[in-house]
Amino acid sequence: MTKLFLFFILLFSISRVEAQYKLEIEITNLKSNEGFVALQLFDNSQKVIFGKMGSIHNNKSLFVIDNLKAGKYAARFFHDENANKKLDLNFMGIPKEGYGISNNAYGLFGPKSFENWLFDVQGNKKIILKTKN
């Protein structure tokens, strides 16, 4: 009887474990291999859940994020060419360094609303974000 009880407890606990997925984000079209790429990943409530600086090789940068639950996420990045840890802007507030957001959700005067950035993760996934220079 005890073994049967332990079996059901184990079975119940296994079924309650949520699947964890891997997300790969490849940043392309970077102007140079200088500096690094700063990436942030948001959950659907606009909370930053991952942030990292990544190296650049062949004008690309790759980030791998493990242990994500199924859901909606959004990402943004910038190419910090001069490694000063900030996105440099010109006198009008326009970025002087490359940047990007998920779904390439650019508007005429800045990014579209956050809801346009969201993408689904329901399994292991790879997305490619193109740098806007």
- pLDDT digit string (tens) for 40-70? 999 999 999 999 999 999 999 999 999 999 9
Measured between alpha carbons, how far is 90 from 97 in angstroms, rounded to an integer? 10
Measured between alpha carbons, how far is 60 from 62 in angstroms, rounded to an integer? 7
Tokens read off for 35 = 């500096």
Name all contacts of 106-114 with Cβ < 8 Å and 24+ positions apart.
Answer: 106/132, 111/76, 114/42, 114/46, 114/74
**Confidence check: pLDDT of 34 > 70:** yes
Residue % of the chain over a pLDDT of 90: 76
Collapsing DSSP states into helix, strand and coil, what is residue 109?
coil
Instruction: Quick: pLDDT tens for 72-93.
Output: 999 999 999 999 999 999 999 8
* CATH code matching the domain that covers 19-130, chosen among 2.60.40.1730, 3.30.420.40, 2.60.40.10, 3.40.1280.10: 2.60.40.10
Quote the longest CA-to-CA distance of the chain: 76
